[in-house]
Amino acid sequence: MLMTLCRAADVYFIHDLARVNPQTGGCWEAESLYSTALPPDYRARNAVWDSSRGLVSLKALPDEVAAFQAVVASDSPITIDKIEVTDLQGPDRIPAGKQVEIFREWFQKVGIPSENSMHHIFSFGKGWYASPLIPMSAPGLKPAFAYPMKLPCPQNRIEGQKAHAFWIDLHVPPEAKAGLYRGKIRVRLDGNKREFTLEVRVGSRLIPQRNHSGYHAISQGMRSLLVTQPGLARDVWFLFHAHRLDLEPYSYYLETEERGRNLRIHWDRHVPNPEQVHLGSVNMERDIVPYLRPGAYTEKNGYHGPAQNVAPGWLTLPQQTGWFMRKGIDVDTSADYNETFLASCSLFALKWKEWKLTQRLQMFINKADEPRDRAAFELAFRHGEMAAEAGRRYGLDFLFRIDAASVSAWLGRRYSKTWTMDSLYDWFGDRVHVWNINPSFGGCEIESAEKLRAREAKGQQFWIYASNTSGQPAIGNNEIDCEAVGTLTWMWVPWKHRVAGTMIWEAFFASFGPALADTFWTSPLPHTAIPNDIGYPNGDVSCLFPWEFISTKPCAVPGIQLKLLRRGSQDVGYLFLLSQLKGNRAMADSICASLLGPCLWDLPCDIRKGDGWRKHREGTLVPGDPGLTYMHGRWSHNPEDWIKARYSAFEAIKGIP
C-alpha cells in the first residue's frame, strides 16, 4: 500500500549507467553535453523504471549481477530510515539477504573538471559526483554512515544537497530457473513507508563464468596492501573476482638473498617496511598463490559471489626492475644484473611447476615503460632478449609486454629519424609478444586494422590500456565527471576490434591507513599535483577505497568505477555467449555496431582537417565551441541505448534452442 510521503519527497529509480547529481536530484547524463542523452522524462520512466506502475524491471542471466540505483530527492530536510529489498519469488526463491547488496553513494566535489594534455576528456563540469560506495552491511560500519541518515548529509557536506542515491546489486544465483521473479523495494522516510515492485526476468543460459573481456585490473597498489595490510588481501581478491575482473598485483617484491647464480628467493616471507612501503616484501605463498586457484572462490572458502570455482586468468611475473634495485643491483646490461635476472626466471619456473597453476603469464619491465628515447628502447630490447632466453632455457611460457603509448610513426622516429613503426616492430621481432597501446587519437592515428592483423599473424598481440592521456574519439573516458558509458567502451571497443587484451592503469593505489583515508574519500584528485601540465583525471584509480573512513573493521570498499567495469565485462559475456550459441560473431557484431561507430584505428583521416583540428592541436577548444563536438566519440551517448543493446542480446540468447 502506498502511503503519502511528508515534505513532498520524491523517490525514483535509474539504471546503473547514469551519474546522479545530488544538488539537483537529477542525472548528469541528462545534460546537453552530447547530442544524445537521457530522455527528458527519465525520472518518471526509463529503461528500468515506470513510475505509473511503481515498477523496477530488470533482465539478467543466471550468475549475472544486475544493478540499479534508488534516488531519494527532497527540497526539505528529511530522514531516510532504511532502504531494503525483499526476497524475490518466482520459479525459485532468490533470497535478498544473500543475493542483494545495498550501497550508499558517497559524493566527491569536482572543482577542476577532468582534462588532459591531449584534450580528449569531456567533463560534465564542476559539481558533485559519486565515487566511493559504502556497503550498508559492512562490519563495523560507523553510526554516521549507517541508517538512519539525514538529507542533506552532514558528513558529505554537499552545498544545496537535494538528493541521496543508493546503488543496489542483485546477484542472480547460477542455479536460478528461467522465468519472472517478483519482490518489493521498501523505502522508509521520516517513519513513513513506500513500496515499489521489483521484477527480474531471468534467462535460461548461464552467463559465461570466465572473464572474456580480456580486461586486467592492474594495480601497483596491491603491493602496498600486501605489505601493510595482508589481512585484507582475501577480501580484495574476492571483490575483484566478484566483479569479473582479473586483479593483477604487478610490481610485487619477494624477499631475496645473494645475487647471480646464488640468488635465493623467499616465497613465503613477509617483510613490512612502514617507513618505505615500496621496499617491503610480500608473502606470495600466503597472499597471492591461494587466490590463483579456483577453490578459493567457493562458498566453502567464504566467497559469496558469481563465477564460483573459477580461477583468475592472468598473473604478471615479479621480475620488476625495482625488485633488483632495492637490493643494490643496477638495472643495466651488466653481467651481474643479467645473471641475476635469468636466475630469478629459473627459480620462478621451478616454483610455477610446483604450484601447478594455470594462469597465463606476462612480463612487464617498469623501467622500459613507454620508451621515449634510444636508450629506453635498447633497455627494452635487452630485456626482450633475456625473456626469450629464459623461455628457451627453463620452459617458462609467458608474454613479454611493452607499454608503447603510441603505435604511430612518431614512436618509430623516437629510435631513429628514418624509422617507421614497422621498422620498430621488425627490430624487436619475436622478443616482444604484446604491444600495449594508449588509445588516444594521436596514439592510433596512423595504424590501421589491416596492419595490426598482419602483425598478429606474425605472433604479435596488440592490447590497449587506460591512462590519463587516453580518450575520445578513440575510446571513452573513465573519469567520474564524464559519461558512465565511457567506461563500458573499454569492453565493447576491444570486442569490435578483436583486441586481445585490455587493462586499467591502475585499479587502485593502496594508500591505506587513518592518515590518508580522509583524503581519498574527500578528494577526486588525491594523486594529482595542482597545477600540472598533464591533466586532471578525477576519480582515477578509484576501484577500491580505504576502509578506515567509514568502518571500525577492515573491509573491501568498492568504487562506482569497479561497478561499471563489471557491467562492461558482463556485456562482453553476453556477446561471447551469443557468438558461441550462433556459431559465429555476426549477430553479436551487429549489436555492437548498433552502438559503436568508428573508433580506435578506424577513425576517419579527415578528422584532422579544418579549423577544429587546428584548435585541438593548440589546445584552444573549450566547451561551447562549435568545433568541440567533432572530437566526441562516435558511439551512442544515451545510456538507454546501451541497455537496449544488452537486452537485444538477452532476447536473442533466449530464442536459441
- Name every residue whose Cβ is closer than 8 Å to that of residue 457 and which is 6 or more positions away in sequence: none
Q: Alpha-carbon distance 106 to 520, whole Å?
A: 12
> Distances in Å between the alpha carbon of 529 and those of 117, 362, 537, 551, 593?
14, 32, 11, 29, 39
Q: Report pLDDT digits (tens) over 188-218.
A: 999 999 999 999 999 999 999 999 988 888 8
Q: Alpha-carbon distance 406 to 404, whole Å?
A: 5
Over residues 371-386, the mean pLDDT reads 90
Q: Report pLDDT digits (tens) over 502-523.
A: 988 889 876 555 667 788 899 9
Structure confidence at residue 2 (pLDDT)? 31
pLDDT band at 594 (very low <50, low <70, confident <90, very high): very high
Over residues 133-153, the mean pLDDT reads 97
Give me the phi and psi of 85, to 5 degrees please. -120, 135
Q: Alpha-carbon distance 105 to 88, whole Å?
A: 24
Structure confidence at residue 618 (pLDDT)? 65
Q: Alpha-carbon distance 275 to 264, whole Å?
A: 25
Give yes or no for residue 102 having a pLDDT over 80. Answer: yes
Structure confidence at residue 305 (pLDDT)? 96
Q: DSSP letters along 534-585, please?
A: SEE-TTTTBSEE-GGGTBSS---EEBHHHHHHHHHHHHHHHHHHHHHHHTSS
pLDDT band at 118 (very low <50, low <70, confident <90, very high): low
Q: Which residue has the higher pLDDT, 441 or 481?
A: 481
**Helix (H) or strand (E) run with residue 607 in it:** none
Contact 301, 280 (CB under 8 A): no
Q: Alpha-carbon distance 288 to 293, whole Å?
A: 10
- Name every residue whose Cβ is closer than 8 Å to that of residue 10 and which is 6 or more positions away in sequence: 25, 43, 71, 72, 73, 74
Structure confidence at residue 366 (pLDDT)? 83
pLDDT band at 606 (very low <50, low <70, confident <90, very high): low
Q: Which residue has the higher pLDDT, 249 or 136?
A: 136
Strands 88-89, 93-94: parallel, antiparallel or unpaired by DSSP?
A: antiparallel
| DSSP 3-state of 101 | strand
Q: Which residue has the higher pLDDT, 228 or 28?
A: 28
Structure confidence at residue 440 (pLDDT)? 78
Structure confidence at residue 632 (pLDDT)? 85
| DSSP 3-state of 277 | helix
Q: Which residue has the higher pLDDT, 160 or 533?
A: 160
Give me the phi and psi of 295, to 5 degrees please. -65, -15
Structure confidence at residue 563 (pLDDT)? 98
Q: Report pLDDT digits (tens) over 24-76.
A: 999 999 977 887 789 899 999 999 999 999 999 999 999 999 999 999 999 99
Q: Which of 209-223, 482-496, 550-564 has the lowest mean pLDDT?
A: 209-223
Give yes or no for residue 175 having a pLDDT over 50. Answer: yes
Which of 202, 205, 204 is CA-nearest to residue 180?
Answer: 202
Give me the phi and psi of 385, to 5 degrees please. -65, -45
- Name beta bridge partners: 79: 150
Structure confidence at residue 427 (pLDDT)? 92
Give yes or no for residue 112 having a pLDDT over 50. Answer: yes
pLDDT band at 8 (very low <50, low <70, confident <90, very high): low
Give yes or no for residue 258 having a pLDDT over 50. Answer: yes
Over residues 321-350, the mean pLDDT reads 89
Q: Which residue has the higher pLDDT, 4 or 279?
A: 279
pTM for the predicted model, two decimal places: 0.95
Structure confidence at residue 92 (pLDDT)? 95
Give yes or no for residue 311 having a pLDDT over 70. Answer: yes
> Distances in Å between the alpha carbon of 106 and those of 135, 393, 418?
11, 52, 52
Structure confidence at residue 3 (pLDDT)? 32
